A and B are shown apart, each in its own frame.
Chain A
Amino acid sequence: MVTALPGDQPPVVMRHKDRYFVHVRQGGLFWVATTTADSSPFTIIEFLNRLSALVKDYCGVLNETNITENFALIYELLDEVLDYGYIQTTSSDILKNFIQTEAVSSKQFNLFDLSNVGLFGADTQQSKVAPSTAATRPIQGSREGGKSEIFVDVIERMSVVIGSNGVLMKADVEGEIRVKCYMPNCSEIRIGLNEEFSIGKSQLRGYGAAVRVDECSFHQAVRLDEFDNHRILRLSPSQGELTVMQYLLSDELPSAPPFRLFPTIERDKGGRLIVYLKLRCDLPPNSLFISPCVFNIVVSLSQELSSPDQRAELRPESRAVVWNIPRFAGGTQLSALFKLDIPDLSSASLLEVGPVSLSFELPKLTATGLQIRFLRLSPIQPSQSQRWVRYVTHSDSYTIRV
């Protein structure tokens, strides 16, 4: 079957005679389904994504070793999720009844197996190894009386294009609220959003600056009876991960874009290309991580960076200079000077420089300004339960034209 595919080349569907292979890539692994031509690609792809999420829920982390270690568990999972090629259920609430015994035991066996490598014929030694109950799987961990925790994550992805004249050409924010619940006996969660949260252009609320999104959709398990008046989402959480709400803001940011770039590109007398970049962060003082990239055709490179802990490297295969900035405080400015030796540099080559793409993660921040006002659980949980609300904004694609 599919063992190796180049990173971004394959289209999603492949065909061999009358059999079709649909794959998705999650966690560095290919998840492949075989099917016939008339099946719905939306369903298959959604299912494969859901399956990988389930495996992640049960195994903790998605990677190759984890999958091979937990093969028995994954067999069970597949057996319950699919029957005769038909999807039966992917709800972790239902599945936990069926998988329950498996999950713990397969963990024990993994420990056995590890201790057992190379001990052929020495079976009697195995009994000395005590089965461990310290399961690392998230779902399992909570049910075994471990910490009961709930995470509410507000995750936003920005895709921004800033023109060479500094004008914002495109700014979209896609966001979602994800609940990860590891509380066995929690019947209802109430999540309060900003009071002034509004959907669409016409509907403005409150007197302060409104937190506005263009489109918004909720998971079907969410009850919205208090949403209209109080902006409260009610739901009964299932174990594992659930995307409660998805929203989208397009073409408009409530505040200025977080990064501005002031590039200067010129040729010096020796035929080298001088790229001087000044990057300014317009956020309130805060610490964050970013790593911008400059595209270029480059042969050799010399650099001067404004701080010693930054790094810049040349990637000839993608014709890019990558400038890594481990820490970038809000309200400050960084600069870099790249001198690039390019054989037969022409004035037209200047056109080929750019665009600059930034990839970053802004913790504790949402681009839309959406906040979780409160998180209430009922029945009231014992004190050792922990509630986490996390905000993060990723760069989906943050491009600045040069």
Chain B
Amino acid sequence: MPYLSGEETVKELRRALCNPNVHSDPLRHRNAVLRVIRAMSQGVDVSALFSEMVKACATVDIVQKKLIYIFLCSYAAVNPELSLLVINTLRKDCQDPNPMVRSLALRNMTNLRLSSLVEYVEQPLIAGLRDRAACVRRVAVLGWAKLHDLQPDSEIDAAVVNELYSLLRDPDPVVMVNCLRALEGILKEEGGVVINKPITHHLLNRLKECDIWGQCEVLKFLQRYQPQSEDELFDILSLLDASLVSPHPPVMAATVGLFLSLCGSLPAVGLSALRRAQGPLLAACGSGSREMRFTALCHIQLLLRSLPGLLGAHYKRFFCGYAEPAFIKQRKMKVLVELVNDDNVAMLLDEMKGYCTDVNPDTAQAAISAIGHIGRSYSDRSLEILVGLLGLKQDHITSAVVQTMRDLLWVCPQCSSTVCLALEECEDTMQDAQGRQALLWMLGVYGERISSAPYKLEVFIDDVRNETSAGVKLELLTASMRLFLCRPAEMQDMLGRLLHHYIEEETDMCVRDQALLYYRLLHCGKEETEKVLQGRRSDPSLGVLIGPPAESISQWAHSFNTLAPLLQSTFKPDSKPQLSDALRCDPVETSGNCPDKQMDSSTHIQTSSSAAPLSLSVSPALSPEKFERLWLQPRAQHDEHAAEDDCLWIEESIQCPAVFQCSAQSLQASLQLVNVQTLAFTPAHARPWKVYLYTRMQLDSRGSTLILGELVHCEEEPVNEKERTRAPAAAPQEEKTVRVTLRQQPRDDETLKAFLSILTTVLHTHSSSNETLP
């Protein structure tokens, strides 16, 4: 269809519409109208034809009517006066013996969206609610919602609202569902439609009559109902059991959503509902529609957060098909990573290996990093594949592999020997800045074990003028410095050249400053330099806490069956860095998963001034003797003179089952993750179980505050008087309670509370991960 200039078309169409010959022939008349609509849908502005179209409205031909109504609804807003002319025709049509005509007129009357027409519309709408044809009632019910939307300020008559409530008992299920929808809109300010017990049971009984769309809608509304007793709850749940395994994914999803919201207080029931829904969800994952597959995959990811081992046996269902689009493949890999266990790891890695050479570089990269993740628990097998991939000498693959190796090293330092061996043989220069940065980091940190490291750095240093990425420059500086410390003879000349270049010629201030800093640092002598540069090369605590703890359903239940899971594109590598992310207590630790960015203490110097509001640190160190002195000294008088001393004591009980059963080392490691130092602790099963810890906290302007703490758990007998008085009341919970005493000096209530919440989070994370471990 050729595009004509708008004006010409409109003129031409007007001539056709006004032609009396055309008017006399209904077919030709209809054809002329059709051409107007066609022009409209092609984007021509035909609003100038409004009056002609209004005239054409007076016809007995339903098809023509429908076409004209489409036109009128599109252009009524720009021609409110002329639209008044239509209302008579529409009102007449509302009396038509043919229900189809009545519903059509009523629907379009409300679709005009003109507030000036409201007074003419109300009466037909009231009549429409009592119409004997269901299709008219459907339209009339929704008409009231449209009317309310048009005039949100004016109240809809209470009688109408009552009538709508009574229409919930309409024999036609669509009318019933429309009533819910309309009432929800009309009563939005009062919290939407009221779902009480009789309405709930009425809706449940009629659920079967609705089509799948109606069922979904009703199930969504039922989420608002709170059953009055547990018996009633279980009655409802058993009524819904069939929908839970419905072959229609929308119904299944809506039912699961309802189960989750009803069983908020009964997580076990929610979990078993999820287990039952896994079949239909899996079936949706194999649906013919790839969009449906994608949706199901995203929801399975949610499910796995609470039921980590759920679909382990079905891992083959998540193998990627060759023709599947990249976004499905990448989701599937994320699911596969979650499903890995001792039985399937061999098959799974074998399959993943195939994806690493995918034509789509993003998919290949995702596969490689997925293998890296599996490597955290099965490092030997994964590394074997990763090392093999280096042999392919494909630029994007090498880059992804190097980054993956770096991330793996950060968590599992025991892999270092294999990685160093592989790096020794890796000759490639990568185009990708991320990859080069990762390579440099590893060369710097493990330089003493890679014999060819200086020569690899030399390539970079020789090429320093062509380097554009600031990240790579910084990393190169740090790596050269580190390597210089362990292999001075080979590095001295190169480092000199590098520093000279960066100090004299570099335009990036950040890089130049860093170079200057290092230069001055070297003047301070080897020991000082080492102190600054010997950052942590790995984070064993991440390794200790591997195996993500099962989250509770309530963490994600609200986003189930919404668009949120589909939009989540960020790869959550594992849940550990979230811990430090969530706490935001130390900028160094927040980059836990990407050590290239800011992990050495030298960069720490730069960043700590701009740190997050809450910054913990363990330096300067506190000796055990000093701790003891501080801890014991004000204790005698802390009730009376606490305020004078400018120190603050608080005691709190934290519910964390099983924290005291796990090894002290792992607790220490996870506390260190948030920069809390443990000084002393009792063996795991000794009673009372005690841990002493301390940290310093940065106050924005007033220097720092020192926090000392004691964790006590005792099951036999309470240690002090306070505990004894509390014991009878808290007896059943005591098993799971750790009592925390904190002393802060100088006092600052807010930071102390913040610290307590950090501590609580750590203990919770720790104890829940401990529970899931066998």
Query: Which residues of chain A have a CB within 8 Å of any CB of chain B?
Result: 7-13, 15, 20, 22-26, 35, 37-43, 45-49, 68, 71-72, 75-76, 79, 83-84, 86-91, 97-98, 101-102, 105-106, 108-109, 112-113, 116, 120-121, 123-124, 126-127, 131, 157, 159, 161, 163, 169-170, 172, 174, 215, 217-219, 246, 248, 250-251, 293, 295, 318-320, 346, 348-349, 351-352, 354-355, 357, 359, 396-397, 399, 401
Contacts and interface: CB of A to CB of B under 8 A. Distances in A.
B323 A359 contact: yes
Contact of A397 (B12, B292, B322): B322
B280 to A, nearest CB: 8
B67 A248 contact: no
B295 A45 contact: yes
A399 B322 contact: yes
A40 B250 contact: yes
Contact of A37 (B22, B354, B562): B562
Contact of A76 (B66, B212, B291, B569): B66
Nearest to A358: B322
A102 B249 CA distance: 32
Interface string B495-517: 00000000000000000000000
Given A215-B279, A351-B392, A13 B567 contact: yes
Interface string B1-36: 100000000001001100101100101101100110
A131 B27 contact: yes
B294 A120 contact: no
A9 B70 CA distance: 35
Contacts of A105: 30, 63
A42 B566 contact: no
Interface stretch (B118-126, B281-289, B683-691): B281-289
A108 B565 CA distance: 46
Bin chain B's interface residue count: 35 or more
A370 B70 CA distance: 48
Given A169-B350, A348-B392, 14 more contacts: A15-B567, A25-B291, A45-B291, A46-B250, A46-B292, A89-B211, A98-B100, A109-B34, A112-B27, A157-B288, A172-B317, A248-B283, A346-B393, A399-B322
A123 B21 contact: yes
B248 interface: yes
A83 B142 contact: yes
B647 to A, nearest CB: 48
12 contacts: A9-B326, A38-B562, A71-B37, A72-B63, A75-B67, A84-B146, A88-B174, A90-B211, A161-B351, A354-B354, A359-B323, A397-B320
A75 B1 CA distance: 18
A22 B292 contact: no
Contacts of B252: 42
Given A40-B220, A72-B67, A46 B248 contact: yes
Contacts of A10: 327
A351 B314 CA distance: 28
Most buried by A among B30, B288, B392: B288
Interface in B554-569: 561-567, 569
Contacts of B62: 101
A357 B178 contact: no
Contacts of A359: 323
B573 interface: no
A79 B564 CA distance: 29
B391 A40 contact: no
B327 A11 contact: yes
A318 B326 CA distance: 13
B41 interface: yes
B359 interface: yes
Contact of A127 (B28, B138, B324): B28
Contacts of B70: 75, 79
A123 B392 contact: no
B259 to A, nearest CB: 15
Nearest to B289: A49
B392 A42 contact: no
Contacts of A108: 27
Given A79-B66, A248-B283, A87 B319 contact: no
B66 A86 contact: no
B388 interface: yes
Contact of B322 (A39, A88, A97, A357): A357
Interface of B: 1, 12, 15-16, 19, 21-22, 25, 27-28, 30-31, 34-35, 37-38, 41, 62-63, 66-67, 70, 100, 107, 135, 138-139, 142, 145-146, 174, 177-178, 181, 211-213, 216-217, 220, 247-250, 252-254, 257, 279-280, 283-284, 286, 288-292, 294-296, 298, 314, 316-317, 319-327, 347, 350-351, 354, 357, 359, 388, 391-394, 561-567, 569
A218 B146 CA distance: 37
B211 A42 contact: no
A102 B614 CA distance: 68
A24 B220 contact: no
A251 B757 CA distance: 49
A76 B142 CA distance: 18
A8 B326 contact: yes
A26 B325 CA distance: 14
* Residue of B12, B37, B322, B323 contacting most chain A CB atoms (<10 Å): B322
A49 B146 CA distance: 27
Contacts of B248: 46
A241 B393 CA distance: 52
Contacts of B25: 127
Contacts of B217: 86
A296 to B, nearest CB: 10
B347 A169 contact: yes
B740 to A, nearest CB: 39
A219 B247 contact: yes
B178 A46 contact: no
B123 to A, nearest CB: 20
A71 B41 contact: yes
B250 A43 contact: yes
Contacts of B295: 12, 41-42, 45
Contacts of A348: 391-393
Contacts of A172: 286, 316-317
Given A38-B562, A123-B22, A215-B279, A45 B289 contact: yes
Contacts of A246: 247, 283
A43 B66 contact: no
Contacts of B28: 123, 126-127
A92 B102 CA distance: 21
B180 to A, nearest CB: 10
Contacts of A38: 562-563
B283 A215 contact: yes
A245 to B, nearest CB: 9
Contact of A83 (B107, B354, B563): B107
B319 A161 contact: yes
A35 B563 contact: yes
Contacts of A87: 213
A172 B38 CA distance: 47
Contacts of A72: 34, 37-38, 63, 67
Nearest to A37: B563
Contacts of A124: 21
A124 to B, nearest CB: 7
Given A20-B563, A72-B67, A105-B63, A43 B213 contact: yes
Q: Top 6 A-B pairs ranked by shortest CB distance? A: A397-B321, A8-B325, A217-B247, A348-B391, A357-B322, A87-B213
B288 A40 contact: no
Contact of A7 (B135, B317, B325): B325
B322 A40 contact: no
A123 B18 CA distance: 12
Nearest to B9: A120
A180 B41 CA distance: 32
Given A24-B289, A102-B63, A359-B323, A41 B561 contact: yes
A170 B319 contact: yes
Contacts of B1: 68
A217 to B, nearest CB: 3
